[in-house]
Structure 1
Amino acid sequence: MFAMEPSDIAMLNDPRRIVIEPGGRIYFARHAELGVVGTCALMNKGSGVFELTKMGVLESARGLKVGEKLLQYCLEQARQMAIDCLFLLTNKQCAAAIHLYEKNGFIHCDDIMARFGQAYARCDVAMRYRPGD
């Protein structure tokens, strides 16, 4: 959907250095018949702030609720990590994903956009996780 940006390339080329070593986590969704069909990362931005990033599901597995299960698993992991602020950055073109995020406790947040939105040229939506809202 979007062109790869320098921060995307850096993360995908060295996920251990960019995500794991600073205290983040990377998760994969495996389907019994299709194998690994999805991924998502929790990237440590410092001071208890984490970005939910690089969430994606193979087109062949869409409609199987893989994305929702993966998101819910990541949110549970974030709760266990005692994260103070969990946010994501996306684009309005990702309407189905935005709906999924809203359904699972994310709200649109101008503060997150101001603080982190410049990280990606494609970013025009910033959301923060607010369970119970």
Structure 2
Amino acid sequence: MPASFSGVSPRRWVLDILAMVPALTHLAFDLIDLQPDPEGWEPYVLYPIVQPDGLREALETALSLERIQRVVLDVAGERLQDWPIIIDVMRRLEDPRLSVWRDERPMQTWADEERLSVEDAWAGRDVWTIATGV
């Protein structure tokens, strides 16, 4: 999901994206933040970046469209620290079309994420089969 500094409201970018794919019925958002890959990079501290109002607005906008049958959030990497914010927003929406995958596997770099994605594909795992309701 774009951060708020993009200058575009969550409602606007969700509607713009969904307008480009009018047959789309299932929508997945990755909420993943990882360290850069270069060797020797010093770890840095990430603070919560998920803004409850922006997340709520994005999800409400997607769910307001009758054609949207399922919305899944994939939460992994350093965004796991935002879990309380994410799950609170999802629970308040009380929509059975919402699901979430809390992917707690160790991954610190985008190379780790790519490796795990390949392993998932070969094992037949994906966000649609792993995510659960809130």
Shorter-chain TM-score category?
0.3 to 0.5
Higher relative contact order (CA 8 A, sep 6+): 2
* TM-score, normalising length: structure 1: 0.40
Q: Which has the higher strand share?
A: 1
What's the TM-score once normalised by structure 2's chain length?
0.40
Name the structure where helix makes up a greater proportion of residues: 2
